[in-house]
Structure 1
Amino acid sequence: MGNCLESPARVDNRESSFGGSSRISPKPSQQPRLSSLIIPSYSNRSFTSSWSLQTPRSEGELLTSPTLKAFTFNELKTATRNFKPNNLIGEGGFGYVYKGWIGEQSLSPSKPGSGMVVAVKKLKSEGFQGHKEWLTEVHYLGRLHHMNLVKLIGFCLEGEKRLLVYEYMPKGSLENHLFRRGADPIPWKTRMKVAISAARGLAFLHEAKVIYRDFKASNILLDAEFNAKLSDFGLAKAGPTGDRTHVTTQVMGTQGYAAPEYIATGRLTAKSDVYSFGVVLLELLSGRPTVDKSKVGVEQNLVDWAIPYLVDRRKVFRIMDTKLGGRYPHKGACAAANIALRCLNTEAKLRPEMSDVLSTLQQLETSTKTDSTPNAYMYPSSVLEDRGRSLRSR
């Protein structure tokens, strides 16, 4: 997207809490002191399910969720073996993530190999913004429960020490599987499984009138079966209410994933998340990160580079990940590319709802499973040879 960030924003080149890309965040000089912390206001919501997001009146009320355990620092110190370096599984702008062990029923610290494995995220001491995001995460994940949201088990707040305890996701982040050097290629079916489960989680949030605001590959965690779960809710925001069409907020998020209208105006809607989903779907198709400084010109930005190929079905194969080796259904690839194109529309109102995106992806998965065409998962060799000549001529 080029240099389109407004002056009140800066790019934070640290990773996200589970590893990630450059964050767009406010300047330190604009952050209030911790002593001036005001709990974010969230309007009451009613849903078809049995819970609602009540407005927390105080920090104390926020931290009394009946579904979360309040750990002591010593308990988490024991669970992680004194935050042993060998147990470090992630590091980012938020802090450090360690593997730990607790009892399945008691939730008390246990020996490695016994009980259940958890991920313990330890917040860096960075004042107001970090604490605000920590509180936001506790607020949402303490009340929102869904198979495609990472489960928050508990928290610790002792003085300046702030920690969160999550279910452990053994396959790590989607970002690592797509972009880490030496990672095994992800098959087409698995990529679509990830896309569908991530879309299901995002559609659930939008139904609950919550805008995620930081949908990206590093925040999509994978369980042992490659089911995706959304993590890191520090930037989540309650959506507009009544006749309001958007919420206006300071621009925050991640470079390359944030919707252009949000960067330009600070106006946030659920369609901002839809744009981010389109970017991640494009990453799944191409195997390329949204921003790649190792490339030159237009190829540095994935969306700018890919759009001309997405609008022409005959050229979609040019953006497909070479690590797939051509093993994907060309009709399915074109359909997925069309979904990405719709999500990436520069006009927010013309982007689909996430519920529609989910439905379309599920239909695509079903049609692919029932496709009896011979070699449905292989592009013709002539097409692959043509692509090879095209790449060599660049």
Structure 2
Amino acid sequence: MTIILLLLLLSSFTPFQGAAQSAVFCDNVKAVASTLPNKTSSSPVHFATATVGQAPDVVYALALCRGDILDDSTCANCITNTFQFMSNATPADVQCFEGGSFYADCILVYNGKNILAAPLSTVGEYDDGVPPFERWNVKNVTGDVPLITGLIHQLLVETVEKAASSTPRRFATGVVDSNTNFPRVYSLAQCTPDLSSGDCLSCLNRLLGMINSTMALRMGGQMGVIRCYFRYDASQFYQGKPMISLGPASPAPVPAEQHKRRKSKLWVIPIVLVPLAGAAFVCAFLYFRRLTKQRKGNVLRLEGSRNQDSEGEEQLVWQGKNSEFSMFDFEQLLAATNNFSEENKLGQGGFGAVYKGKLPDGLYIAVKRLASHSGQGFTEFRNEVQLIAKLQHSNLVRLMGCCSQEDEKILVYEYLPNKSLDFFIFDEKRRASLDWSNIIAVIEGIAHGLLYLYKHSRLRVIHRDLKPSNVLLDNEMNPKISDFGLAKISTSNNNEVNTTRRVVGTYGYMAPEYASEGIFSIKSDVFSFGVIMLEILSGIRNSGSKQCGDFINLLGYAWQLWEEGRWVDIIDATLLPISHSVKMMRYINIALLCVQENAADRPTMADVISMLSSDIMILPEPMQPAYFNVRIGNEESSTTIESCSINDITISVTVGR
């Protein structure tokens, strides 16, 4: 059954606002309609683009048939019918409209704007801030809701990853059986085949990141932008066998007579396998023992077990299965950094210096050499190797490898030439190079990186030290969260964790419940994100030396201006005149929601992304933020004033119990 899902047709609530066009533009649309169906169906991957005409009447078009539609004629007919349907839907007194639509079997988009020119690395970001197409089943999941929604989430994540890695179609399907009364759930994800694996994954992950707590309860749903799309439903809506299957499969029934014969032979298995297993274990033990001696203890031991960290909290040890992670030789890094020369030094952190390096193949790297005298530096080193090697996302910095030889503990990252976010937002000259589109990209990129850590990665990670100096920028000013030395892995669904010994982090970005009681959760990182948002918009450090009105921190100052209706005074002068005033006000509103005093009042990162990506969602009114009462001249706050004036140093504070 073919279901027409209109995306872009004559509606202000769709991804494109269709605009009436001239007769020449309409003739160009007809020319595209006459050639694009056959061009698409004759492509091996059923994907094609077209450009017809000259400005100002040029038409840019894109068509893609769903990955399970293998028949050429079915693909061509779908696109032809889509053109016809959209032509018939145009009002009689209008020449024609820009537009597009999703069918059950194909996607078609044509527009007077060059929808084909955007860099593929920015897919999943939306023109003019318009949110993607989305449609959700009106019914909610029933039965064991946590189990079923968890399985659906796992299904979507694995389907997305499969689609991104599948060539040449960038297409995948899946199914999950919860073994309950709830029906099987089927999934599909697809990107345009011209995307790289990384760009496809980034695009789809951006969409998954917009699923908030309400959407996650629906029995079915779908979201899409021009170049990527996913859907799931409780009935199979695609052709062919699912490419991914989750959930335990029911074993085939065994005839009674055969079962009896099997049972009579089961006693043989232990007699045969136990000696073999014992011999294999002894051989493996002797081999690895000899290998360890050969290495003389110079290489970091990464075992497949769980260790206790210095706070007595369980830590997952990396098992070394990431093929892109390397063990570097110290001499190799010495040569790459020119003996760790001062001219190659990029910066100095609390646990050591970072140097620019160049490998023999010409690849630039960032080399973090931890101070040999820092015991905490080694803890950070171990934690980062164990953790970040397992994480892969376009908004997380990539750890390429490490070196552990005698007293040398070194981390090797991808090199990002634009340094860190604080290098731009707190410098008057460099900040002037950031326009509003850069600001949006940075804020949304950080949000998507955090959501990946909490929801879409294999490990649930709480960063605990999120700040502008730990957000790096690539060539295109895309943000990448870095420095996971203080991060924690949450091994349960418990939202709050109580640290038993040390509070670690950076004053000015530390949530109040963590600073005062040692309680941290994903809402602690949400607080830090809200602080960063305000700093990006204002160009003012939250706890710097610059006085903010009657307050010593940015949060109190921002709240005072918001209450007085003078929010525009928060915005840095480099962003003025304000041509995006409505969006700016929404961003300040969202930032204030993130820095609420009580963690329960802060939104989740999924909710934050939904609010950032929508211009029509009604936002809650924020309440008084944390640290609002920290004012100039308040003697009772003298301790806080002193500590807040230093926000570039990672600190540890002992919390009494």
TM-score range, shorter chain: 0.7 to 0.9
Distance change in 2, residues 1:101/1:301 (3 Å): same
Distance in 1 between residues matched to 2:364 and 2:386, nearest whole Å? 23
Which stretch shifts more, 205-214 or 224-233?
205-214
Out of 193, 209, 219, which is 2:441 matched to? 193
Q: Give the RMSD, CA atoms, in angstroms.
A: 2.6
1:284 maps to which residue? 536
1:359 aligns with 2:592: no
**Identity value in percent:** 38
For residues 171 and 328 of structure 1, the distance between their equivalents in structure 2, rounded to whole angstroms, comes to 27
Q: 2:498 aligns with which of 212, 225, 248?
A: 248
| Residues 337 and 285 (structure 1), Cα distance of their counterparts in 2 relative to 1, 3 Å cut | same
CA contact (8 A) 1:240 1:246 kept: no
Tell me what 1:384 maps to: none
Does the 8 Å contact 1:192/1:365 carry over to 2? no
**In the alignment, which of 283, 291, 300 is matched to residue 552 of structure 2?**
300
**Map 1:140-159 → 2, pairs under 5 A:** 140-159=387-406
Q: Aligned to 1:150, what secondary structure does the other structure show?
A: coil
1:381 match:
none
2:518 aligned with 1:270, yes or no? no
Code of the residue aligned with 1:277 in structure 2: it is: F
Q: 2-side partners of 1:349 and 1:169: how far apart?
A: 36
Q: CA deviation at 1:63?
A: 7.0
1:344 aligns with 2:595: yes
> What SS does structure 1 have at the residue aligned with 2:566?
helix
Q: What is the TM-score normalised by the length of structure 2?
A: 0.44
Superimposed CA distance per residue, residues 323-342 of structure 1 (whole angstroms, 9 cap, x where no aligned partner): 22324411011110110011
Map of 1:79-94 to 2, 5 A cutoff? 79-94=336-351
Long gaps (5+) in structure 1:
1-44, 103-109, 367-394
What's the CA shift for 1:304? 1.6
User: d(CA) in 1 for partners of 2:525 and 2:326?
Assistant: 30
Contact 2:495/2:522 (<8 A) preserved = no
Pairing partner for 1:66 from 286, 297, 322: 322
Q: What is the 5 A alignment of 1:129-208?
A: 129-185=376-432, 186-207=434-455, 208=459
1:119 aligns with 2:366: yes
Q: Which has the higher contact order (CA 8 A, sep 6+)?
A: 1
Question: How far did 1:187 drift?
Answer: 1.2
Q: Which amino acid aligns with 1:334?
A: M
The runs of 5 or more residues in structure 2 that have no matched partner are: 1-149, 162-302, 309-315, 618-657
Measured in 2, the distance between the counterparts of 1:209 and 1:259 equals 19
Note closer, same or farther for the CA distance 1:65–1:310 as it changes in structure 2 (3 Å cut): farther
CA displacement at 1:353 relative to structure 2: 0.5
C-alpha deviation, 1:298, in angstroms: 4.0
Q: CA deviation at 1:80?
A: 1.0
1:95 aligns with 2:352: yes
Instruction: Determine the structure 2 residue equivalent to 1:322.
Output: 573
CA distance in 2, matches of 1:162, 1:189: 39
- Post-superposition shift, 1:296? 7.0
Counterpart CA distance in 1 for 2:614 and 2:329 is 47
2:335 is matched with which residue? 78
Partner amino acid, structure 2, of 1:152: L
Match of 1:128 among 342, 367, 375: 375
**Bigger-Rg structure (1/2):** 2
Q: Deviations over 1:110-159 (max 9, x none)?
A: 1xxx6211101100123431111111111111101111100000000011
Deviation per residue, 1:271-303 (Å, 9 max, x gap) = 010000000000111111111224377442111
Query: Could you tell me which of 461, 464, 473 is aligned with 1:210?
Result: 461
SS in 1 for 2:609: helix
Note the C-alpha offset of 1:91.
1.0
Figure out how many residues of one structure are paired with residues of the other and give that number. 308
Shift of 1:305: 1.4
